Amino acid sequence: MSRLDERGDEASASRARRIHPAWFVAATALVALIGAAGFRAAPGVLMLPLEEEFGWSLTEMSVAVTLNLLLFGLTAPFAAALMQRFGLRAVTATALMLIAAGSALSIFVTSPLQLLFTWGLLIGLGTGSMALVFAATVTDTWFAQRRGLVSGVLTAGSATGQLIFLPVIAVAAEDYGWRIASLIIASGALLVVPLVLALLRDRPSDLGVRRYGEDESVPAPAAPPPVEGRGASAASLALHALRDASKVRAFWALVVGFAICGATTNGLVGTHFIPSAHDHGMPQTTAAGLLAVVGIFDIAGTVLSGWLTDRVNPRILLAVYYAGRGVSLLFLPSLLSATVQPSIVVFIVIYGLDWVATVPPTIALCREIFGERGPLVFGWVFAAHQVGAGIASVLAGVVRDQTGQYTVAWFAAAVLCAVAAVISGAIARRPRSRIFR
pLDDT, position 15: 46
Block mean pLDDT (10 aa), the chain, length 437: 48 56 89 78 77 83 81 81 84 91 91 88 86 82 86 78 76 88 88 89 85 66 43 72 91 96 89 88 86 82 90 94 94 90 91 89 91 85 86 89 91 96 86 51
Percentage of residues in the chain with pLDDT exceeding 90?
A: 26
pLDDT at 73: 77
For every residue of 346-406, DSSP letters joined together read: HHHHHHHHHSSTTHHHHHHHHHHHHGGGHHHHHHHHHHHHHHHHHHHHHHHHHHHHHHSSS
Q: What pLDDT was estimated at residue 12? A: 45
Q: What is the pLDDT of residue 41?
A: 64
Task: Collect all residues with Cβ–Cβ distance below 8 Å to 181 and sequence separation of at least 6.
Answer: 42, 45, 46, 168, 169, 170, 172, 173
Annotation: CATH topology of 20-205+232-436: Growth Hormone; Chain: A; (1.20.1250)
Confidence at residue 261, expressed as pLDDT on a 0 to 100 scale:
94
Annotated domain spans of the chain:
20-205+232-436
pLDDT at residue 132, rounded to an integer: 74
pLDDT value of position 159: 67
